[in-house]
Chains A and B, each alone.
Chain A
């Protein structure tokens, strides 16, 4: 039923935007000819990471490369982002106690040392905050113009007793978001385009493994799916979860937490905050009877105090997200590329 998008002659930015085009690229290029792991969750699952059974437990493994412009933005920087990104990917698989991280950096000739030191400090502070020690790394320097400033890669490993996939949703399950949506993307957008809103918009970038540990402790087996709504925002994360799980999702707009600056920026720019990236949030699928319990656990953590139950899984409109706006209902689609400026 789903249209297979041909990837085209050349790779374009949309193939990295986190939506359907990126999934097509991974499916058509990187999954081609890859052997499935003997056991566990591998590349084909296209989850936040891999999970390999070791004895009674699971070893979860994930990696992420980070490029962001600008390197420093309100609420964070590329260093914090690269540690939080990997820690959160592990957590989304149910592995909330990282054993170790790796950190590789590729630098452009001429990169200011002061900036590098500042980034290193931020990496260190975030790794302490997440209790995720960096144990090995690599450094390369490339010629001017060969890369743009700096690229950071991190990988992480952790054990967990139970893997939480992103495909476990069933009819009736509740959808919980752990806080306000769109903060990171709007904060970066504001500095990138020099919008006068800068000061107020703050990225939410943070390691959320501790908060997720609390939610899992409260919900146990009833937390059935998790995903971090990064590129493509809540819309892309939910589409992926709903498609893989074979359910539809009914989402209530008035229950989705938004900060006031994001609400204002979204209205001003005509950009849907549900299409915009988060770096310190999670989407949880929870069995209905455990929803309030999990919500209370999230509220108890400082990063989760705005958490809310925002939707329900249903047995129709499979793979689709229906948004109840309070005034009517419509489809919530995934973002496609960069929005074009409007005429009038």
Chain B
């Protein structure tokens, strides 16, 4: 146990409340100087929403600033047919290893958790290397159901280049973030005036990857980290750029992110994967938004190794509740969880209807856990 003063010294400087307050004031002042309301900006990362929610930052955001969570949760945007592929493979008797978050994501006829309850072999792993270890210990076919953005896709790529055992293959549902920002920017209803880009993804891609985007759409992009002061400083810079009408890429996470990024990781990523257009759940068809294995890795591609019998799943009628789910609109930034008639009622972390209530990075799960709605946390000042 440390004394309060010692603790202050130990406390990460990126969580300093005093600096936080100064940034909040600056953000309020800048937003006000824009002279219109609301001003909408979007972050495209579940980790940003986690930081915002965990430190209660929505409570101190200016009312006129609408910080929207975009399609930044890899679990949430994994499309129903992709979940179905995993479920079908598991039901066909193939052992499927995947991240814990994927377990409860509903497909068109149940989730991997349902398949497991029905006797299918589904393993939870924390990393692709754990799935490889699993394959090394058995003669059974192990399919790694791979989800996540370029941050986790790089890990999958590295494992493939290392040469996994012959009974290992990959069902890739990996996604690539930059193309979806184009989609959001081009949506006819979009109100987004700037993007907060994910620091960890930019560690791989480099901030330079957003330059072409800024040129095309004249919207500023600020790369930010995940401590509360990182998020606040990123937003301050973003609103500054909106105010100055100088759309450009700015790196507010220089302690980790460079313009070029991690070149070795990028080489490995593109050596293994190729971008392919495909649907993101609830969003749209995203050109070049999916990462699929290149032909030279066909022998490790579960889609080519197995006949995945999807049709047999479709004999089930989709559950009716799903028709009321607005995960798509929430991820596109058009609506918030409290607009959903299922939120907190039929749709709960234990019994999720939509994918956004499953993952710890999903907007609905985060709002359910931390009370995302600012009105929930406005309380009279009482000082003990």
Please report A residues at the B interface, Cβ cutoff 8 Å. 3, 14, 172, 174-175, 180, 248, 250, 252, 254-255, 257-260, 270, 291, 306, 309-312, 314, 316-317, 320, 322-331, 333, 336-337, 339-344
Contacts and interface: CB of A to CB of B under 8 A. Distances in A.
B306 interface: no
A146 to B, nearest CB: 25
B363 interface: no
Contacts of A330: 53-56, 58-59, 370-371, 377
13 contacts: A259-B1, A312-B383, A316-B379, A328-B60, A330-B53, A330-B59, A340-B103, A340-B360, A341-B99, A341-B126, A342-B359, A343-B359, A344-B149
B370 A336 contact: no
Given A312-B383, A344-B149, 11 more contacts: A3-B345, A316-B380, A317-B376, A317-B379, A326-B17, A327-B55, A327-B228, A329-B60, A342-B101, A342-B359, A343-B359
A306 B200 CA distance: 38
Interface string B321-353: 000000000000000000000000100011000
Contact of B384 (A174, A260, A327, A336): A174
A341 B20 contact: no
A313 to B, nearest CB: 8
Given A180-B1, A326-B20, A250 B379 contact: yes
B1 A329 contact: no
A250 B384 CA distance: 9
Contacts of A325: 54-56, 228
Contacts of A270: 360
A344 B55 contact: no
A339 B74 CA distance: 18
Interface residues of B, number: 51
Contact of A329 (B4, B360, B377): B377
B218 interface: no
Contacts of B100: 340-341
Nearest to B17: A326
B258 to A, nearest CB: 20
B152 interface: yes
B57 interface: yes
A322 B154 CA distance: 39
A147 B361 CA distance: 38
B315 interface: no
B384 A311 contact: yes
B31 interface: no
B384 A337 contact: no
A48 B350 CA distance: 27
Contacts of A344: 46-47, 74, 148-149, 151-152, 200, 361
A151 B254 CA distance: 55
A330 B374 CA distance: 8
Given A260-B1, A344-B151, A248 B384 contact: no
B376 A331 contact: yes
Interface string B1-37: 1101000001000010100100000000000000000
